[in-house]
Amino acid sequence: MASRAWERRNERARAAGYANYYDYRAHDYGRRAPDTPRARGETLARLRGHRSASDLERMLRSGRVELVNTVTTVDANGRVGVDVLVTLNDGRTVEYRVTDRQTKRVGDLIDAMGTDAPPLVGSPRTLTRFGAADSELYEDPDGDMEHAQLVAEWEAGLER
């Protein structure tokens, strides 16, 4: 038997015109009207919650990941999350959604992979969520100050 909380979710979803709570989630948590088609493929997997930090960690351990691209997002309620687009060695991409609390755990796994880790790209603010130290983000590969100046100018633009 379903929990009372689950039944309340189903009741609210049915009152809004959806078949049940799952149908509500498959319609992008009510952002799509009940009479429109449900999300499909990768979008549906993400909406169901089946593409999260645990799935990302499994994929990273598989050795099939070529690149990890990250983007920090903030929803209407102020909750921070990270959209992670993984490029696989066969050229396909897979999208994951990682909550702000999970980013450090995923970052620790990438660190533990050492030289076997795929490149992690994103803005400095996003990468620090994954535990990258400032010194790692701002290293000057040529030993000159031009790189540091470009980073400072870029960050100043973010603050505006």
Domain of 126, CATH number, reads 3.30.720.90
Expressed as residue numbers, the domain containing 81 is 51-131
Residue type, 78: G
Q: Verify that 55 and 39 share a domain, yes or no.
A: no
For residues 115 and 109, what is the distance between their CA atoms, to the nearest angstrom? 12
Q: Verify that 20 and 68 share a domain, yes or no.
A: no
| pLDDT at residue number 108 | 84
Could you tell me if 95 and 136 are in contact, meaning their C-beta atoms sit under 8 angstroms apart?
no
Confidence band (pLDDT; 50, 70, 90) for 136? Answer: very low
Q: Verify that 123 and 61 share a domain, yes or no.
A: yes
Q: Verify that 28 and 12 share a domain, yes or no.
A: yes
- How many C-beta atoms surround the C-beta of residue 127 within 10 A? 21
Q: Verify that 97 and 125 share a domain, yes or no.
A: yes
| pLDDT at residue number 139 | 47
- How many C-beta atoms surround the C-beta of residue 104 within 10 A? 12
Q: Verify that 59 and 104 share a domain, yes or no.
A: yes
Element (H, E) at 97: strand 93-99
Confidence band (pLDDT; 50, 70, 90) for 35? Answer: very high
